[in-house]
């Protein structure tokens, strides 16, 4: 599984089925729209490789007191 922002890998996990928590420091991103992506691979019982990706548009707004990201509809 990979977590990406705007197509750039943030973190990858291999051979795991565990739940994970990942901290994303929005201060490393410019204010404005970005694309948060989750990408993963699996093997089907037939032996074929499967791939899937979920993309979530977000808007980052960093200011001096609060760093936030908002999912857009």
**Edge-to-edge strand list for the sheet holding 2-5:** 8-12, 2-5, 32-43, 49-62, 67-71
Instruction: Give the range of the structural domain holding residue 67, as residue numbers without chain letter.
Output: 2-71
Task: Please write the tens of the pLDDT for every residue from 26-39.
Answer: 888 899 999 999 99
Percent of the chain at pLDDT exceeding 90: 40
User: Distance between CA 40 and CA 46 in Å, rounded?
Assistant: 18
Paired tokens of 49: 């490789």
Please answer whether residues 37 and 5 qualify as being in contact, where contact means their C-beta atoms are separated by less than 8 angstroms.
yes
* Domains of the chain: total: 1
In this prediction the pTM is: 0.72
Give residue-wise pLDDT tens across range 38-56. Answer: 998 888 999 999 999 999 9
């Amino acid at each position: 599984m990979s977590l990406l922002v705007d197509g750039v890998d943030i973190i990858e996990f291999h051979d795991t089925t565990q739940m994970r928590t990942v901290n994303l420091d929005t201060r490393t991103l410019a204010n404005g729209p970005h694309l948060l992506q989750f990408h993963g691979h699996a093997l089907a019982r037939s032996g074929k490789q499967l791939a899937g990706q979920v993309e979530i548009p977000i808007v980052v707004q960093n200011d001096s007191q609060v760093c936030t990201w908002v999912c857009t509809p």
